[in-house]
Amino acid sequence: MSGASRLVGGPELPQVRRVVSEIPGPRSRELLARQRTLVPAGLRAALPVFVEAVGGGVIVDADGNSFIDFGSGIAVTTVGNSAAAVTERAAAQLHRFTHTCFLVNPYESYLDVCEKLNELAPVPGEKRTILVNSGAEAVENAVKIARAATGRPGIVVFDHAFHGRTLLTMSLTAKNKPYKQGFGPFAPEVHRAPMAYPYRWPTGPENCAEEAAQALADLLDRQVGAENAAAVLVEPIQGEGGIVVPAPGFLSKVATICRARGILLIVDEIQAGIARTGRMFACEHEGVQPDLITTAKGLAGGLPLGAVTGRAELMDAVPTGGLGGTYSGNPVACEAALGVFEEIETHDLMERAREIGDTMLEHLGVLGDTHPVIGDVRGRGAMVAIELVEPDGERFPAPDLTARVARRCHENGLLVLTAGSYGNVLRFLPPLSISDDLLEEGLSILGEAITKESASAA
């Protein structure tokens, strides 16, 4: 793909995989020892090599190793880590001013980002956007807005959901360890419905959308009481939960259930949104029109920025002074976000995401046919995963094998991330600036790692 190489910017890193030391190498191990004396044990890196430079599709560490990047800093550097429009705009803004606080003196780039999101978001009617600093803050604000607009307290979320690490968003998140253990009591008025997770639906994938929708309606009508529910909050593809693509039709059934009861639908596009799945927003694949959408991760190419975009009458329901934050919508991050939209348009990155998805799903499908430990292959665009299970056909999760495969990939110069409620999902979120050569090389390293580790387990 010629477009991809143009995106390799800044340090012009050679687009090669190179392993020259143990992983982590001596310099990284030194720095890790230093980290342990300075940083609490609660933070742990997926691949503890200290970074020197990143660009295109590689991450170069302090020992000179060059890793193929299948992580994008958790789906953040979707347009690449050094996309020209992002770095040039952000650098120019750094020289103009770094901060004024939008609540003290506004600036136009904030409006430009909001205009872009209002134009692109599949929310019906007139729209408004508020900018914040992170994904969790976006979800917090979406809940505040939904409650203020409806006068109702209840929020319904799903099994396997991830919405952040603050008190409210951790309460909305499903998985206990490591996200919630020891951190309670949790925020009240959070209710949880089953997720339409086709691979693990008890009566089979063909019944999944219908039965999961029925379970949601039952929860709303018989437990929560529809008149007490402000919103249903759902990821269009669950990220941390294991790249769970809901059964086809489920999201539109959720929208219908909400509409019939005057409950708002909030779609959390923080991981799946901003071109990653081959559409600007992942819920567009299902033709769903939410009332509110949260974005962050891919929005500003690595600078901290999140947003809530929603129907104007809901967004305007919060009284003056009810929303905001000191750093929210930082001007450097706003310029970076404008650069992200420019990169997506000029390099047709949504098409690139679809190409990457086709390549990954094809290779992984072939791999799945010959490796019974690969229970499921799923995803959309550059958001793809495999679920590893015991090879006996019972779908029993294989988290230890998953961890070993990830480690072997790391040792061979491929960064992969794990995910899933059972810790048995390997997820692949490459930057859209990765070359086809690196993508295919990464997939073959993954294949070898699975072959070797599943053979040694047997």
Ligand X SMILES: *Cc1c(COP(=O)(O)O)cnc(C)c1O
Q: How many CB atoms lie within 10 A of CB 258?
A: 24
Using the contact rule CB under 6 A, the part of the chain among 59-67, 140-148, 233-241, 371-379 near ligand X is 233-241
Look up tokens 């669950």; give the residue: 238
- Could you say which of 235, 284, 335, 343 contacts ligand X (CB under 6 A)? 235
Rule CB under 6 A: is residue 162 a binding residue for ligand X? Answer: yes
What residues from 31 to 70 belong to the interface with ligand X (CB under 6 A)?
A: none
Phi, psi of 445, deg, nearest 5: -65, -40
Rule CB under 6 A: is residue 163 a binding residue for ligand X? Answer: yes
Using the contact rule CB under 6 A, the part of the chain among 109-117, 264-272, 338-346, 438-446 near ligand X is 264-272
On whether the CB atoms of residues 265 and 232 are closer than 8 A, the answer is: yes
What residues from 128 to 157 belong to the interface with ligand X (CB under 6 A)?
A: 134-136, 139
**How far apart, in whole angstroms, are the C-alpha atoms of residue 179 and residue 314?**
30
Site string for ligand X, 182-201 (x = CB under 6 A): --------------------
What residues from 389 to 428 belong to the interface with ligand X (CB under 6 A)?
A: none
Q: Which of 18, 85, 75, 76 lies closest to 52, judged by CA?
A: 18
Pick between residue 194 and residue 302 the one whose CB is nearest to ligand X.
302
Pick between residue 134 and residue 433 the one whose CB is nearest to ligand X.
134
What is the longest distance spanned by two Cα atoms in the chain? 64
At 5, list the tokens: 């190489």
- Could you say which of 149, 208, 296, 337 contacts ligand X (CB under 6 A)? 296
State the minimum distance, in angstroms, from the CB of residue 397 to ligand X: 21
State the minimum distance, in angstroms, from the CB of residue 42 to ligand X: 15
How much helix, strand and coil, in percent to the nearest 5, is found in the chain?
40, 15, 40
Pick between residue 23 and residue 142 the one whose CB is nearest to ligand X.
142
Residue 198's contacts (CB-CB under 8 Å, 6 or more residues apart) are 205, 208, 245, 246, 247
On whether the CB atoms of residues 102 and 332 are closer than 8 A, the answer is: no
Using the contact rule CB under 6 A, the part of the chain among 265-273, 309-317, 332-340, 428-436 near ligand X is 265-273
# residues near ligand X by CB under 6 A: 15
State the minimum distance, in angstroms, from the CB of residue 205 to ligand X: 23
Rule CB under 6 A: is residue 246 a binding residue for ligand X? Answer: no
Report residue 371 CA to chain centroid gap.
Answer: 27
DSSP secondary structure of 29-64: HHHHHHHHHHS-TT---SS---EEEEETTEEEETTS
Rule CB under 6 A: is residue 164 a binding residue for ligand X? Answer: yes
Rule CB under 6 A: is residue 239 a binding residue for ligand X? Answer: yes
Rule CB under 6 A: is residue 329 a binding residue for ligand X? Answer: no
Phi, psi of 272, deg, nearest 5: -90, -15
Helix (H) or strand (E) holding 267: strand 264-268
Rule CB under 6 A: is residue 290 a binding residue for ligand X? Answer: no
Pick between residue 171 and residue 412 the one whose CB is nearest to ligand X.
171
Rule CB under 6 A: is residue 364 a binding residue for ligand X? Answer: no
Residues that bind ligand X (CB under 6 A): 134-136, 139, 162-164, 235, 239-240, 268, 270-271, 296-297
